[in-house]
Chains A and B, each alone.
Chain A
Amino acid sequence: MKNKYSIFSLIKNAFSQHENWKQAWGDPEPKREYEAIIIGGGGHGLATAYYLAKKHNMRNIAVLEKGWIGGGNTGRNTTIIRSNYLWDASAGLYDHALKIWENLSQELNYNIMFSQRGVMNLAHNLQDVRDLKRRTHANRLNGIDAVWLNTDQVKEFCPIINTSPDIRYPVLGGTLQRRAGTARHDAVAWGYARGADEMGVDIIQNCEVKGIKRNGDKVEGVETSKGFIKTKKIGVVAAGHSSVIANMAGLKLPLESKPLQALVSEPVKPIIDTVVMSNAVHAYVSQSDKGELVIGAGTDAYVSYTQRGSHDVVEGTLKAILELYPIFSRMKMLRQWGGIVDICPDASPIISKTNIKGLYFNCGWGTGGFKATPGSGDLFAHTIANDEPHKLNAAFNLNRFVSGDLVDEHGAAAVAH
């Protein structure tokens, strides 16, 4: 049994110099066989395992992680959470996630610091205005809180934005989702890991998958750096490395993996208390609870698995930041980094069965997967447990690339690909 986390347990443990805290998750060796295996110990993979155990009573399962849990895009993103997507299918998916976020700290008994500080998307030209209004109306009718703000209201909501009509691309308005916000990214992985571990899920770190064993059109298990593990169901949640795993199973996916860059400034006292995104000039910024400005840059336009992007992308982003926030010119970049994101042609994810029985993919989240973590895990668990998708992820199948029924979210995905 794990420690229950609370102010009381903190006080109690203080008197024993915190010597008695139990492990948040264990460090087991893999068994020879599992009912299901999740490849990838990021937020999505750990959430999948958590919901498989919790809602589908599949407890003899394992999460295999090549490095350390939460070490991929979960720990490298700008932590924005929102659900103001255009199409019904996406709105359903992301708002499902948002609703789980709202109670996640309590559910996991782990404070993931979900901060509903609002996310505002700015419009800088007349077509932006049309597109964002279209999205705002669609959100409202889909039951997602979104309001249109004119330029003055934008300024009132976030006074440090330069809303002068004389700038190169003036702010013409924006759409605001108040329920949106940010969360502490590492805590999400750790909270799900702790929850899954408590229900008996084996979280196996430093275990690299080397091959997928197939028998005809069925999976039989995985070859790993810790030996062969038998299983009939494999859920792949490997983000940027999805194609690498797919290739092991002889599959090709409609994905390209590219470095997405981000950066933080040195910490300063609170100066911006919301999240502001701008598609047209391409900058988004929020402030972390440590005081750092968290700034999302773009993706490099080529496939790379190096987690090192080119400087141009960072320069372009900061250019846009200074256009909108000239007061940040003397602020300093503390750290920049890249994550490998797997991008779909329609900027929407894949949560789908494949034509190989027992092999499921959850990928293609591109630049915006973090916000979907709980919903993605829940729906992927449903798909794996029932061998068919939940109605909320039915549209996000692999067949859409054959039929042409894409879910084109380039506008709402916020990063111009």
Chain B
Amino acid sequence: MTSEPDSTMTPPSLKSKSPFRLISNFLYRHSCLATGFLLLLPVLWLVVVYLGSLGTMMIQSFYTYDHNTTQVLAEFSLDAYKEAFTDPILSPPNKDVIKRTVRMAGAVTIAAAIVAFPLAYYMARYAGPKMKGALYLGVMLPLWSSYLVRVYSWKLILAKDGVMTWFLSKLGLMPVLDWLLGIEGIGGKSLSTSYIGVFLVFLYVWLPYMVLPINAALERVPKSLTEASSDLGARPWYTFLRVILPLSFPGVVAGSIFTFSLTLGDYIIPNVIGTSSYFLGTLVNVERGTLGNWPLASVLTVVPVVIMMVYLSVAKRLGAFDAL
């Protein structure tokens, strides 16, 4: 019901001739219609813009791409799926990219959980009101400045002649850095052109999205439960392991949804930092933006959608949505 409280107290004048009055009278008597009008915009948005674009993408993934003229033909085929997964010549680089991206997203998510949990724990349990405010501000502050500027400044921080190297050399930690960069598979020529660099920047950029849900979950764990646990003779670490962690774990899963999906889709960080190897986002960007290969780009977008659907159904079972 959308009728206003004051209108129930003073019934609208049915004799008024003003067109506004007529319309509002009409809607008053047909309150379903009024609700319908109110919902029109959000529903249109959800159906047309949100589901519509998703549906168009799904349909496009079955279109045919003519490699020689680089034109998309509206003819049904599975070519794009073959190009992404089964074609012996064309698919291996694409599959590499998918694997690389999923691994990176997994690593970033796990690391973010490990870094964020103690911080969120401190914020929720120990920090005084002033400290808490400062920490919230510290976590949120990066979100208020331009993402692009932050990523480019990380390129300068991680550069071979950059701040990070200078700092490490002052501390005498250069051998550690050289050892890290020498590791096969994740190392590189400098921090800014290695997977380690990409990993660090992803971790930095998505950390707030992990801290906040964990913090929210921890805030909701009643103090009485931990007290009860210790009254019953549990040592602190046992209380943590059997009471606090299980109760706050949905928060970790909720945060991991953000970090995992955001890493899967990002196309800016691998463009600026890293080995020049493609990630899903950058590959989609190239296939669509520069080659005009919409079908393959759509298939490559369906991949994270499917991955996230599996991920979300597991997360749901773990109770992540109770923490949101």
Q: Do A and B bind each other?
A: no
